[in-house]
Amino acid sequence: MLRRAMHAFTAGDLPDEEVLRWMWIAGYVAVDVWDDEALVLLASRCLHHAWESGALTVLPLVLGLRILVHVLAGELAAAAELVEEQRQADEVTGHHPPRYAAPVVAGWRGREAEFTDVAETLTRDTMARDERVGNTVIQWSRAVLYNGLGRHPEALWAAERACDQESVGLVNLALAELVLAAVRSGQVERAAEALARLSAKTQASGTEWALGVEAGARALLSEGEAAERLHLEAIDRLGRTRIRAALARAHLHYGEWLRRERRREEARGHLRTAFEMLTAMGAAAFAQRAQRELIATGEHAPRRQAETRERLTAQEAQVARLARDGLSNPEIGARLFISRRTAEYHLHKVFAKLQITSRSELRLALPAEPSAALAR
């Protein structure tokens, strides 16, 4: 039933008012049925409709869905830019819905202080409103944060609370964190219970994303040849999806398993892949885990320079991204709720920092994410 409802929106023949009212919810349904292609399509169409119709009060909700797409794709810099755009839209409209995307991005980036700051305020709001979805988002993000930092008992506590209430789409993601946290905390029975809940959802879906996540979770609870087969299945299936963050972590988990099996040479290849992917994504805590594992195999992980986007402020990165995508200075100003002159000023600073002299060079200095073209 959920899949039929979702496909009604991907067909694209609904009135604009229905699109804006319901399509962003249909995006979370896509997560619930593990359909990454539909998720990207719905998030892109919804954002396009919001901009085209000038529906600024809906924009923060729509941006939240698009931010989730970037996070799952491992495009954390782009997600952080949209968090800032979401804040600016709130200021202009005077409409201030809870911005749950901020702790999601902070959690995936492994920034505990930043996460704590935004999560505490949001937690008070969700308790006052009795808002269960908000609590699920915060606790899922907390579980991701602490799984990345290797503080698995804390991740287990958060993941269990994220899974307390059914929330469309998000409980899927939290269950995967719960299995990992429980296994690494030595709570095998809890992990098995969470896996059973997860499997009921993934088997009903049958997509590569769903079955890849399930295989990775089963691998954590398995040993010997069965564990290896499941780790490889997870990497294979997730490699066919847009969910690059999960793929990077699948390489990390397999590399960790290989190192414990004393197969150091094989472990290095997967750990190196995980380190490079997670570092490029900006998932610092998970990248550091991969680096520590690499060192434990006898190899010193190479240090990567800060990504180009990390050298730009949030506002500069937004202006640069929009200019790269072909928007004029007046269009950038309207999009970011700033003046044309302010847009010009920020673009001038971008050129200086990137050591370029024209917009045409932005495509080389600031390449688009694999799914970014779909966002326009």
Among residues 106, 117, 120, the alpha carbon closest in space to that of 148 is found at 106
Question: For residue 5, what pLDDT is reported?
Answer: 84
> What is the assigned CATH class of domain 308-375?
mainly alpha
Helix 132-149 vs helix 112-129: crossing angle, to nearest 10: 160
For 222-238, what is the mean pLDDT?
Answer: 97
Least-confidence region, from 44-58, 153-167, 179-193, 229-243: 44-58
Say which residue the tokens 């979805």 belong to: 133
DSSP-derived 3-state class of residue 241: coil
Question: For residue 375, what pLDDT is reported?
Answer: 38
**Distance from C-alpha of 257 to C-alpha of 355, rounded to nearest angstrom:** 43
For 220-232, what is the mean pLDDT?
Answer: 97
Say which residue the tokens 């505990």 belong to: 112
Mean pLDDT for the chain?
85
Torsion of CA 245, 246, 247, 248, to 10 degrees: 50
Confirm if 297 and 271 have CB atoms less than 8 A apart.
yes
* In the chain, % of residues over pLDDT 90: 50
Tokens read off for 229 = 């087969």
What predicted TM-score, i.e. pTM, was given to this entire model? 0.82
Least-confidence region, from 24-28, 129-133, 235-239, 330-334: 129-133
Among residues 52, 121, 58, the alpha carbon closest in space to that of 90 is found at 58
**Distance from C-alpha of 247 to C-alpha of 234, rounded to nearest angstrom:** 8
Of residues 203 and 130, more confidence is placed in 203
Condensed to tens digits (0 to 9), the pLDDT of residues 6-16 reads 888 887 667 66
Condensed to tens digits (0 to 9), the pLDDT of residues 325-374 reads 888 888 887 777 666 777 787 888 888 888 788 888 888 777 665 444 33
Tokens read off for 348 = 């001038």
Question: For residue 328, what pLDDT is reported?
Answer: 87
Rounded to a whole number of angstroms, the distance between the first and last alpha carbons of the chain is 29
Condensed to tens digits (0 to 9), the pLDDT of residues 175-201 reads 999 999 999 999 999 999 999 999 999
> Domain segments of the chain: what residues?
1-95, 308-375
**Distance from C-alpha of 19 to C-alpha of 118, rounded to nearest angstrom:** 30
Condensed to tens digits (0 to 9), the pLDDT of residues 43-99 reads 888 887 777 776 666 777 788 889 999 999 999 988 888 888 777 766 666 666 667
Confirm if 290 and 304 have CB atoms less than 8 A apart.
no
DSSP 165: S
Residues 6+ positions from 202 with CB-CB distance below 8 Å: 34, 210, 211, 213, 214
Question: For residue 238, what pLDDT is reported?
Answer: 96
Confirm if 50 and 59 have CB atoms less than 8 A apart.
yes
Residues 6+ positions from 4 with CB-CB distance below 8 Å: none
Residues 6+ positions from 186 with CB-CB distance below 8 Å: none
**Distance from C-alpha of 325 to C-alpha of 64, rounded to nearest angstrom:** 21
